[in-house]
Structures are given as C-alpha cells and as structure tokens.
Structure 1
C-alpha cells in the first residue's frame, strides 16, 4: 500500500469526494478550510493507494500530549476487505508509543446507523483503543472519545483541542 502526504497543492478532487461522502455533513469542515488547515495546523494528511487507486485517507493532528486521529476514511466499495485494518496498522506503527485519541459517532445513541457505529467501535477496541468515558455532543450527535497508549483523556483535554481548533477555524 502506497502512502502519499497530502499538501494543499495535492488535495485533489478524488480525495475531496471521499471526504464529502464518507462523513456526515455535520462532522465536516468545509473542504477549502480543511485544505488551508493542513499547513496552518501542521496536519498529517495521508492518502493510501493500491497502485493508482485511492483506498482512503487519514488526517492526524499531532499534539505534544497526544495525537488526534481526526479523520479516517476508506472508500465505501473497498470497505470490509481488510484495507482499513492495513491503514490503521500503518497509522498505529507511525505513532507507536505515543498516545492517540479519536472521536466517533457514539454506538450507544439511538439512530439509523447504530449497527454501523457499533461495528466501528468494536473495530477500534480490537485494535487496542479503549473507551475514555468522555462523551461530547454536537447538536444531537453524541461522540464517543477513544484512546490508545499511555495516559488518560479528560473533558479538559477535549476543551483544549477545541480551543486550538477555534484559533484556526470557527464553525459557529
């Protein structure tokens, strides 16, 4: 699997389409703002390819106390084939020994895609993430915070990362 670092100059239409179709609109930052943040926030935006075929991408916000796994997407038609597992394995290896945190749509919230959320949650648990028992809500969407590596994650950590993001982009 080939990895390519995404820069503002290389953020192409195919990656944008995956971003805009893989995540609910309420979880998306407008594409042009996200591309601008690559350099401003020093984001680790990586696309994964099989030859020239885009498989998926990850966006990690490296921080001193933990790395924030911000976005992780695999093309819908390629899901269930172990490719997401391969990408996650590469990401875990890249940040080995460091604390890594992610948020995901809560598997405990009643919704139309509850089964999908539960599968995603189980996927992360199988891969060494643990629940932090920190939950945040955006409008009616509950997010579960998961963590891998040393340390803990608190509401104060959440507030800090949101505060950092607000320095670069405001979604109000």
Structure 2
C-alpha cells in the first residue's frame, strides 16, 4: 500500500477480476518464507505491461526490484517490457522520489519514450526496454487487461 498512492491504485477487487484473464498475472514475491512484494502484469503478443511492481518497504534497496525486472526480461526475451511512472517534474511534492524511481528503471535497462499515459487520475510517463516504443501493443495490453473498460489516452 505504501508503494503507490491510493489515487494510482486499482482496487483489489478490480485487480483480482482482471487477473482472471490468462494473460494477466498477479504474483506474490517471496525469498524463501519472506514476503518481498508483488508484481502485476499483462502479457501481450509483443509487449509486457508491468502495471505494478511493489517491494516490501523493509526490503527496498536490497536488489529485489532489480531481480524481478531481470526475471521478467529472462522470461520474455522477445517482448518489450513497458511501465509507467509519475512524470519527473520539479514542482512535484515527491520530486526526489520520482527522480530516484526513474534512475532505478534506467539502471535496469528502461528508457524514456516521450509518451504519456493519460487517464482520469492524471498522466504518467511510459518507459520501455524496447528500442522503439510499441504503442499499439501497449494500447492492446491495457484494453485486454481491463476488459476494455479502462479509459485512457497515450500521447506526447
């Protein structure tokens, strides 16, 4: 709950319903018996949209997030992984956190796309591991994940 502000989270019932689709995965992450966090993603034909990656607050900074991203890249070597983050703007109250998050993803092979995901909650910058952002694949994943109910735009 601390990894994402309430306004950025789908409700738990929504996540569970969406995860009934075979292409949507909702994983609890463990290191032995220790709960490390969760990952929620949708697998498309050419893309994987990592909707949520949340690491247990007490375990952050210990390499778990990087390990999960590495596992996803190994599992989907022929697909680009797409994420969205709060835009890095200096006027944001959590500016330092946003910069830190961007650096984390860039360190793990993601790059900025200059495309924004815009929805009723605001706008989010998209990052990808692909050389060229697969916008049609990302749109298809979003629609597939939400049964077509999620209202959004992808634009510069």
Same fold (TM over 0.5): yes
User: Which structure 2 segments of 5+ residues have no match?
Assistant: 152-156
User: Which structure 1 segments of 5+ residues have no match?
Assistant: 1-19
- Aligned with 1:40: secondary structure? coil
Aligned equivalent of 1:71: 52
For 1:29-108, list aligned pairs within 5 A. 29-40=10-21, 42-108=23-89
State TM-score, norm by structure 1.
0.76
Q: In structure 1, how many angstroms separate the alpha carbons of the residues matched to 2:103 and 2:141?
A: 25
Give the C-alpha shift of residue 52 in structure 1: 1.2
The structure with the largest helix share of the pair is: 1
State TM-score, norm by structure 2.
0.83
Aligned equivalent of 2:128: 147
- Aligned with 2:100: secondary structure? helix
Q: In structure 2, how many angstroms separate the alpha carbons of the residues matched to 1:96 and 1:162?
A: 20
Instruction: Kindly tell me the number of residue pairs found equivalent between the two proteins.
Output: 151
RMSD, aligned CA: 2.3
1:133-161 per-residue CA deviation (whole Å, 9 max, x = no partner) reads: 0013345633110011244233x555544
